[in-house]
Amino acid sequence: MSANLKRHIAGGLLAASLALGALVLPARALTLEEAGKVVQLLGELEPELGRLAYDEEEADQWFDDDAGLEGRIAKAGFDRESWKQALGATFRGYLATIAAEHFEATFSGLTEKVDASDLNADQKAEMRSFVETKIAETRALRAEGARYVDAVQPYAARLNELLGDDE
């Protein structure tokens, strides 16, 4: 297997797992106002902090980095935990707003790339298992997001700009 193909497969899996997250938060209502604040903050902070690759550590890092700048997250009324909860709920709600065909297309070809790779049989089995686990986790996040759709739907287009794929 060429080094480029390995990097391409690993990069695709990393991007999918980071972009689609794997954080489990306690169920709590997300208000339209909270979702709006999260979306506004994502837009304001992206130029300084870069594109959000959502997971719990990234949520913490954004909170810390912003605290060292202007503290906009705290000024918007969030402490670290409420920020992580609102960001997580907004992210899940965003996943739930994505059309099913587009959402599933995100995973199209990932396992086929593993099968077509030059990895040995054990490596392929391990990589396939990893891919299938990440796909299942992401589908679960989307299912969890159904409870947040009403709060997130008005911001779906902007979230797609901020969190969606670049293609």
Residue 53 lies in a domain: yes
In this prediction, what percent of the chain has a pLDDT beyond 90? 66
Residue 26 lies in a domain: no
pLDDT at 166 over 80: no
Q: Which residues of 51-64 are buried (b: 16+ CB within 10 A; e: fewer)?
A: ebbbbeebbeebbe
pLDDT tens digit sequence for 111-135 = 889 989 999 999 999 999 999 998 9
Q: What is the pTM of this model?
A: 0.77
Domain tally for the chain? 1
Q: Which residues neighbour 27 within 8 Å (Cβ) at sequence distance 6 or greater?
A: 147
Q: What is the per-residue pLDDT for 12?
A: 53
User: CA 158, CA 167: separation in Å to the nearest integer?
Assistant: 16
Q: What is the per-residue pLDDT for 62?
A: 95
pLDDT tens digit sequence for 29-64 = 899 999 999 999 999 999 999 988 887 789 999 999
- Give the residue with greater pLDDT, 22 vs 142: 142
Residue 40 lies in a domain: yes
Residue 25 lies in a domain: no
User: CA 25, CA 2: separation in Å to the nearest integer?
Assistant: 39
Q: Quick one: which of 107, 110, 84 has its CA closest to 23?
A: 84
Per-residue pLDDT, averaged over 74-88, amounts to 96
Using DSSP, how many helices (H) and how many strands (E) does the chain show?
Answer: 10, 0
pLDDT at 91 over 70: yes
Q: For the chain, give the mean pLDDT.
A: 85
Domain limits for position 81: 3-20+31-163
Residue 78 lies in a domain: yes
